[in-house]
A and B are shown apart, each in its own frame.
Chain A
């Protein structure tokens, strides 16, 4: 690894550590930094409330943000490479719409059919939503993989993915129309996305799943590098392009399905972070971009979570708004600066 790359990675790693600690430190209740540090290393805080806030609320939230940011960014990078389209993101194939559809079915129909508003079920309701989201997302992903086997062109596949997304959104619209108001509200809140929703026990499951999936996606770096050259060249260099495409789509699909199931549809991060990393590291080599996207995604998600929770907002600010509000200018600045360097101005 070249030295600037190593330095960049280390800086990203440090940024993650700092942001993670800030996530534990800052919030509506002020906890002294020393106490947070103590709790983090397994000690007892002087005040049981502080202990609870840090361990039961802030820690799981920060872990969720970290894992979700990493997962979405890696997924976005993979989609941009497979479709050779800078506007592709993790949601481009309709997988996150699938998750929304799953949740919509459960949230909106349960009130109608079962007579119980799911939004009142608490923990069981949360669990049902997660399962529904995973089922919905994986169903759409399988559909896309099936289509990918039939269709040759990338653009065709991309359009079909977008169409599937539209159909899912339309079905959700119909479901909303026939649902009770409070259920619609529960669904809308889910759709805003949040890193805070995942509760204690589920966080570990979520993080464990991501810890298995993310390294698996690293196995695709050579494939992704070859896909950059275009289908013809990739094939001539010994890559089975169709099989490669299916692998990458499956990998992305599962990542997006899991993240969406636990955090709701988080927009923007997955689209922006790969661009950010290309801008910072000035490379298209996935051996660099993959770990860089993972780290930068985790860092940016932590930053967004921190801002969403800033005093005054009291956790009321939806993560989705923050990701775009913070992310868009950052990406624009990086790209703009790079363009100026390229033209030598």
Chain B
């Protein structure tokens, strides 16, 4: 799969502008993200992973610096246009009732459908293809409220695929899943990037799994810095080690929970 630059980030500062002035979460982020690659964003809770993802997805304006996607600055995209460039999978829980998997994945076609949102035969074919690619075609007619967390996560990924965006951002897609499902989801995302040529960028807490599969890592620490590189790069310069120590400490606290899966 040919790797082309899809996202260029230059001197990016992220954070919030509130009543009490500006709260900077992280600054000076510069990188390029390429198609056909899987990038994992790692960091402790509260390091600002979600803020970063929200900024990259255009939900939140950057404090400084620039993001351009497919050669065009993010802020110049109109809402409708952006919907065909970036697809997201969020932690947001939608308590959907009485909607089938196929209908939900079909919602991913919304940027392309007309005024009433009716799916054309072509749209239906693409929904079917997305379900196949994620491997959940057999769930097609199930109601969303009857799915397990892992299945639901796959449905949302299929939704992002039906959206036909070159870029997919995922906010902690492996959270709340059992170990086999985590592996399955990450493997799926790997396939989507390497085989389908998507630019996949996700945040996760599952370090060991992420390290085995990812092409690039963004390590975010609470101090506001972001270390970027391949797993090898970050091992060599010691930043991964530092991070592992931190993570180990967190894990020792939570280890007794993992004994009863």
Contacts and interface: CB of A to CB of B under 8 A. Distances in A.
Interface of A: 84, 219, 221-222, 225-226, 228-233, 235-240, 278, 282-285, 287, 342
Given A228-B99, A229-B96, A284-B99, A237 B117 contact: no
A14 B12 CA distance: 62
Contact of A237 (B92, B97, B99, B163): B163
Given A236-B83, A283-B98, A229 B116 contact: no
Nearest to B54: A232
Contacts of B93: 230
Given A232-B92, A284-B96, 8 more contacts: A230-B90, A233-B107, A235-B79, A238-B80, A238-B82, A239-B110, A278-B97, A282-B98
Given A229-B94, A237-B111, A278-B97, A221 B86 contact: no
A262 to B, nearest CB: 30
A147 B102 CA distance: 36
B117 A287 contact: yes
B146 A226 contact: no
B90 A237 contact: no
Interface string B81-107: 011101110101111111100011001
Interface of B: 57, 59, 79-80, 82-84, 86-88, 90, 92-99, 103-104, 107-108, 110-111, 113, 115-118, 146, 159, 163
Nearest to B100: A283
A232 B57 CA distance: 10
Contacts of B113: 222
Nearest to B99: A284
B95 A221 contact: no
A240 B81 CA distance: 12
> Top 10 closest A-B pairs, CB basis?
A238-B83, A222-B117, A230-B94, A238-B80, A237-B110, A236-B88, A232-B90, A284-B99, A284-B98, A232-B92
Nearest to B163: A237
Contact of A228 (B88, B96, B116): B96
Contact of B107 (A84, A231, A237, A283): A237
A285 B99 contact: yes
Contact of A342 (B87, B92, B107, B146): B146
25 contacts: A84-B94, A84-B95, A222-B113, A222-B115, A222-B116, A222-B117, A228-B96, A229-B96, A229-B107, A230-B90, A230-B92, A232-B59, A232-B90, A233-B107, A233-B159, A236-B57, A237-B110, A238-B79, A238-B80, A240-B79, A278-B98, A282-B98, A283-B98, A284-B97, A287-B116
A232 B88 CA distance: 9
A237 B83 contact: yes
Given A232-B90, A233-B94, A221 B82 contact: no
Nearest to B145: A342
A88 B129 CA distance: 37
B147 to A, nearest CB: 13
Contacts of A228: 94, 96, 99
A236 to B, nearest CB: 5
Contacts of A285: 99, 103
A123 to B, nearest CB: 43
B119 to A, nearest CB: 11
A285 B57 CA distance: 27
Contacts of B111: 237-238
B107 A225 contact: yes
A233 B163 CA distance: 11
Contacts of B92: 230-233
Contacts of B82: 238
Q: Which of A225, A230, A232 has the most CB of B within 10 A?
A: A232
Contacts of A287: 116-118
A225 B116 CA distance: 10
Contacts of B96: 228-229, 284
A239 B79 contact: yes
Nearest to B112: A238
Contacts of A231: 92
A284 B99 CA distance: 6
Nearest to B169: A236
A240 B103 CA distance: 21
A261 B204 CA distance: 54
A232 B93 CA distance: 10
A214 to B, nearest CB: 16
A221 B87 contact: no
A5 to B, nearest CB: 13
Contact of A233 (B79, B86, B90, B98): B90
Given A238-B79, A287-B117, A342-B146, A233 B88 contact: yes
- Of A84, A229, A278, A283, chain B has the most CB atoms within 10 Å of the CB of A229
A226 B98 contact: no
